[in-house]
Homo-oligomer: A and B are copies of this chain.
Amino acid sequence: MGRAPTLSDVAGLAGVSMATASRALTGTRRVDTRLRERVLAAARELGYAPNPHARALARAGDASIGVVVHDLTDPYFSEIVRGVLAEAEAQERMVLICNTWRDPDRELAYVASFRAQRLQTLVLAGSGVEDRRLGARMAAQIAGFEAAGGRAVLIGRHHAPADAVVPDNLGGGRLLAEELLRLGHRRIGVISGPAGLTSTRDRLAGFRAALERAGVGLPDEQVVEGDFTREGGARGARELLDRVPGLTAIWALNDVMAVGALRALRERGRRVPEEVSLCGFDDIPLATDVTPELTTVHVPMVEMGARALRLALGPRHRQIRTEHLPVHVVARGTTGPGR
């Protein structure tokens, strides 16, 4: 009872060699029906389960799927994970999920560990970073991973040489700006994301471009940096309110911050959307839980996760593939006409 049963136990009980037992269990090669039955029965009787470590070692590979995310408790990532899981279940594959808390070193360590583990499939969900040194280190790890026969797929824009699924952050920023302009807003405050993330940069760049085209300025004082958390959103909103008196709209670069901002606005007695319009980005479930419901940009997070895994499980191509996913504005209750 103490020791878990091994293949050799099964083989012994069935009265066959380990080789035969292994083949009967895995179906690698034909085994006489009677023998196979005996092996299967023995395995069942012993409650045998193969040791995945030994298997991975012998096979020089591991069929599990590794997923590395920035923050599992952030709905953006849990939706992505949901997509990956759904797809993985369809393939009956085990999924290992790791959380980095947005720490690049930890991210690197996890990839290295998966590589050492001879994992074959890896989904890296998290925004890429602009930092060249970090990017290069990550690119090296990923190249190593792929050189060893693994398949890695990135979610978000990275500088690493691997397949990727990336939402149209640039277009989303632009569309949202156009929506706000259409509503008549001219003085807009922005709660940005962590500097150095490609998603922050892209969303903001799209937004900026659309404003410029319309001849509307976005001075530095109207942009504060947030950290993609509720609290960061609330802080950002307060700061904007203090700094820019005539503000008619606030855009938070993700929904979680927008929810924090909504709370801050309410605390300050600013009515949304009558006095100040508010919008976010992502369209996580939380966006429709708040009152009024949040105007935002819909990003197909579940779809992104699923697509990423499908890409990773599919054949490798000569050329690196990047799937761009469209986004669209969902106008809800937190936006109204500007003065």
Contacts of A115 in B (CB 8 A): 4, 49
Interchain CA distance A239-B51 in the complex, whole Å = 49
Q: Which residues of B contact A266 (CB under 8 A)?
A: 291
Q: Does any Cβ of B come within 8 Å of A18's Cβ?
A: no
- Whether the Cβ atoms of B52 and A148 lie closer than 8 Å is no
Q: Is the CB of B291 within 8 A of A4?
A: no
B-facing mask of A284-305, CB < 8 A → 1, else 0? 0110111100000000000000
With CB as the reference atom, state the residue of chain B lying closest to A141.
B47
Determine which of B2, B54, B144, B230 lies in contact with A285 in the assembled complex, contact meaning CB atoms within 8 Å: B230
Cα distance, A285 to B78, chains bound together (Å): 15
Q: A259 contacts the other chain (Cβ, under 8 Å)?
A: yes
Q: Does A218 contact B (CB under 8 A)?
A: no
**Roughly how many angstroms separate A148 CA and B5 CA in the complex, as a whole number?**
10
Checking B47, B62, B113, B149 against A49 with a beta-carbon cut-off of 8 angstroms, the contacting residue is B113
Given contacts A2-B147, A148-B4, contact A85 B99 (CB under 8 A): yes
> Digit string of A226-260 for contact with B (CB within 8 Å is 1, else 0)?
00001000000000000000000000000000010
**Which stretch of A89-97, A127-135, A153-161, A163-171 is in the interface?**
A89-97
Interface size class of A (residues with CB under 8 A): 35 or more
Closest to A103 in B: B89
Rounded to whole angstroms, the CA-CA distance of A287 and B94 in the bound complex is 33
Within 8 Å CB of A98, what residues of B?
Answer: 94-97
A35: Cβ under 8 A from any B Cβ: no
A291 partner, pick from B75, B147, B230, B291, beta carbons under 8 A: B291
Residues on B with beta carbons closer than 8 Å to the beta carbon of A285? 230
Task: A108 to B81: give the CA distance in the assembly, Å.
Answer: 21
Q: Is A282 an interface residue (CB 8 A)?
A: no
**What separation, in Å, do the CA atoms of A72 and B79 have in the docked complex?**
10
A81 engages B85 (CB within 8 Å) = no
The answer to whether B230 touches A4, judged by C-beta atoms less than 8 angstroms apart, is no
Report A's interface with B, CB cutoff 8 A.
1-4, 47, 49-54, 56-57, 62, 72-73, 75, 78-79, 81-82, 85, 94-99, 112-113, 115-118, 144, 147-149, 230, 259, 263, 266, 285-286, 288-291
